[in-house]
Structure 1
Amino acid sequence: MKIGLHCDGADLGLSPFEIEMRRRLWWQICILDVRTAEDHGSEPTILEAAFNAELPLNINDTSLQPDMSELPQVQPGKTEMTFTLVRFEVSHFVRRVTFSDRFCRTNSYPILSEAKKCEAIEQFKERVEKQYLSYCDKEVPLDFITATSTRLILVKLKLAVCKLRKDQAPGMLMQTIYRRTCEEVLQHAQTLRNYEKGKRWLWLFQTYVEWDSLAYLLLHICTAPPEELSDATWKIVDEIYHHWKCESGIYRDRRWRLIEELRFQALSARATKQKIPQLPRATQPGHHTTPEQYDLGPAARLHKDPSARAHRTTDTGIDQPSNAEAAAYVHPSQVAGFQTTESNPTVDQPFPMGTLISAATATSVTQPVDEAMSSAAELPSGGTGCEWSAALFEVFWDLTGSGQGASVSWL
């Protein structure tokens, strides 16, 4: 700010070319300010009233010349600035909905409830779709990346402002809308990673684990009644799990152990529920999918082999419970030999965009957990989840960092 980048060049009598270059540079600084705040759990240092630099123009670079006498006309539709402008707009919008009420008051932003924030996100999404994304051609790699990554950011933003809280009633936690939003997060993320033509941009989003969405859907698979389980949900959860399992650095983050624990319970619950008669829309009469068909792996084989030893170490290096232990699930903090390690600060450190707010730092569970279920017969017939095991929820809260502010990772 000492060199005056926060002041719009038009007010300083600068040349059109310099005005535009300064605007581009200033708004990139604003993105970094938001990203730094997200990474450190603080708030942006740049205040709204401290700058008047306008957004850069939606133009192609060929429209800019160092000796031009006036700024070029804004071009409707897609330009070479579209990707960058969307980043600038989203970053500025994030300031209004993800930080504290105090920050909003300081910047003269309206104080919004969670419902109003979600409404604001939808309105912002509609404007971005109409103004920018509707002009993107899905056959053009950068256009595809621009549209898909922006939609992912906004759906993750909705999860961030509506982050589940531990003090909520159990019945409020297992909501269909929240589950579908988590599924949408994983679908968009996996679509980006699988997009061959966009591999050159993979570095933007390849290291940001979807902790909250993955954990929530695993919890849903554990607690939902058979008629509410979807093969599509399991498919995307399994794809995301195996994608991150192949990343060597993931094992240095204590949250991955908790993901493994939730997945083990989800595998067990799913195998059990598949033996329960399903509604006609779920499966064909008489058809039961075996665990092997879903690549259930070592956890499922443990249940099939009564002679399995008390603990089996998988290729992940994580102890898996025996058949008897799985029938009486115990929270990992109560299992001998299960020790969590501190998160490696270099692993999964988001860098919003592009990359929205850092994943919530997990905290150790200090509260006692309820007695674990004694058999698979205690699986809930309803969808509240609290009927099954408080221990599952304790793992979930430990992983997602309940009570720490809303957070979400940008791409």
Structure 2
Amino acid sequence: MGLHRDGTTFVLKPFDTELRRRLWWHICLLDMRSSEFHGYKPIVRGDVFDIKLPLNINDSDITPNMTEAPKEHEGYTQMKFCLKRCEMTKAGWKVGCASPISSSTATVARADGEQIVQELQSQLEERYLRYFDESVSFMLFTLKVTRLIVARTGLMVDFPRKQKEAYTSTIIRDRLFSISMEVLELSRFIMTTSSISKWTWHSKAHIHWHAVIFVRSEICSRPASAECDRAWEFLNTVHNQWSMNERGRRGNLSRPIQRLIVKARYVREMQQLDPGFHLARRMATPDTAPVQAGSSELQQETPDPYGIPGKVSPDEYMDWMLEDVGIDLYSEWRTDPAGASIMIVIRKQTQLLAN
């Protein structure tokens, strides 16, 4: 079918060219979402297609009989929501979130990734967001989703990726926590604001696993605070809105995530009795540091530009993600006198979540 080639290459009519562009970019979006959710490398590669972005037009601007492409608008159109998603997909490819870059290119350095996110934000502000009127429901929805995905892209720049560096820096972890909180706060706004409720289904279909994982892991290792209280508020809302228990019963929510939920709830209950209670953080160490007793040797791996292990199951993918943010769901209790009983409780609660 040659969908990866722009319609102008085949001298197609403007209408056919536009439909092919929209279809191809939707395939790219689905490929990115699927690869992230299931832990597989993306199928689409950025160097195998030459299709341009769809035009910034309204549907009424183009008809099957047209021989010349319609002139693009500068302001808001029916295609704005789609176009901003396409722009974010392109940015996602560059930072290696879950999409294509050549196999010879390693994941971009953090500084380069942050620059890409800044350029994305400036570009979206200039081309799209400055035309939005927040009093119009769909424009408000589009604006919030845009802010959400920009924040999520920034999170992916710093999120651990099986690299040699240890994510022990308080500054980095605080930044990751702040960005993750922003992602969850925006998600909650989108899913609970009545004026945009007719489009809530869109966000309910997009669970931001990295933000959920990181915030839940951090509140396990941080003392009780107002910030952690806010984190719990956001987590409880998105947990219910995303129907995470139901997804778990259908097999989409992996057991590692369920165990993390139970562990975080346990910490929360203990902090209500003792505000100073928290679990020690166990972070991976650099290759140059001595290996702690009882820990497994760090495996030497060829850096993966996607930051995703090979072909793995959803459960293995989640275990990998949890490991990279330094989460061992049981280690803190193995040396606790009551550890055995606590681990039994966690396993039972995990089974309840899945039933």
Q: What amino acid does structure 1 have at the position aligned with 2:24?
A: W
CA apart distance, 1:206: 1.4
Q: Which residue in 2 is equivalent to 1:267? A: 269
Q: What is the alpha-carbon distance in structure 1 between the residues aligned to residue 134 and residue 160 of structure 2?
A: 34
| More helix, by proportion | 2
The correspondence of residues 134-283 of structure 1 with structure 2, limited to 5 A, is: 134-164=130-160, 168=166, 170-172=168-170, 175-225=173-223, 229=227, 231-241=229-239, 243=241, 247-250=245-248, 253=253, 254=255, 255-273=257-275
1: CA distance between counterparts of 2:9 and 2:279? Answer: 70
Q: 1:75 to 1:238 in 2, by over 3 A?
A: same
Q: What is the CA-CA distance between 1:372 and the residue it aligns to? A: 5.3
366 and 144 in structure 1: CA distance in 2 versus 1, 3 angstrom threshold = closer
Matched residue pairs, number? 297
* Cα displacement string for residues 60-97 of structure 1 (whole angstroms, at most 9, x for unaligned residues): 11111222231111100110111111122212221221
For each residue in 1:310-362, what CA deviation from the matched residue of structure 2 results, as whole angstroms up to 9, or x when unmatched?
xxxxxxxxxxxxxxxx9999xxxxxxxxxxxxxxxxxxxxxxxxxxxx89523
Q: Secondary structure at the match of 1:178?
A: helix
| Distance in 1, Cα, partners of 2:35 & 2:96 | 11
Distance apart, 1:203 and its partner CA:
2.4
Please say if residues 6 and 53 of structure 1, whose CA atoms lie closer than 8 Å, have aligned partners that are also in contact. yes
Distance 2:332 2:21 in 1: 54
By how many angstroms is 1:256 displaced? 2.2
Offset at 1:8?
2.0
Which of 40, 58, 61 aligns to 1:60? It is 58
Amino acid of the residue matched to residue 104 of structure 1? I
- From 358, 362, 380, the equivalent of 2:319 is 362
> Does structure 1 residue 116 correspond to structure 2 residue 112?
yes
Cα deviation 1:80-138 (Å, max 9, x = unaligned): 1111111222122212212599x6345x8785212321221121122112211222222
d(CA) in 2 for partners of 1:243 and 1:157?
Answer: 22
Alignment partner, residue 38 of structure 1: 36
C-alpha distance in structure 1 between counterparts of 2:268 and 2:82, whole Å: 40
Distance 1:23 1:244 in 2: 31
Identical counterparts, % of pairs: 26
List per-residue Cα deviations over 1:128-183 (Å, max 9, x = no partner): 12211222222222212211112212212222232136872645487322221111
Aligned in 2, Cα 1:96/1:43: closer, same or farther, shift over 3 Å?
farther
CA distance in 1, matches of 2:211, 2:196: 24
Of the candidates 78, 101, 104, which is equivalent to residue 104 of structure 1? 101
Measured in 2, the distance between the counterparts of 1:366 and 1:221 equals: 13
Q: Unaligned regions of 5+ residues in structure 2, if any?
A: 281-313, 351-355
* One-letter amino acid of the counterpart of residue 10, structure 1: T
Distance 2:37 2:232 in 1: 30
192-201 vs 214-223, which moves further: 214-223
Aligned to 1:125: 121
**Equivalence for 2:25:** 27
Q: Supply the distance in 2 between the matched residues of 1:157 and 1:179 (Cα, whole angstroms).
A: 14
Partner in structure 1 of residue 303 of structure 2: none
Task: Find the aligned partners of 1:213 and 1:219 in 2 and give their Cα distance.
Answer: 10
Question: Cα RMSD between the aligned structures?
Answer: 4.0
Report deviation, 1:230. 5.8
Structure 1 unaligned segments of length 5 or more: list them.
277-325, 330-357, 376-390, 400-411
**Structure 2 SS opposite 1:361:** helix
Larger radius of gyration: 1
Shift in CA distance, 228/198, structure 1 to aligned 2, threshold 3 Å? closer
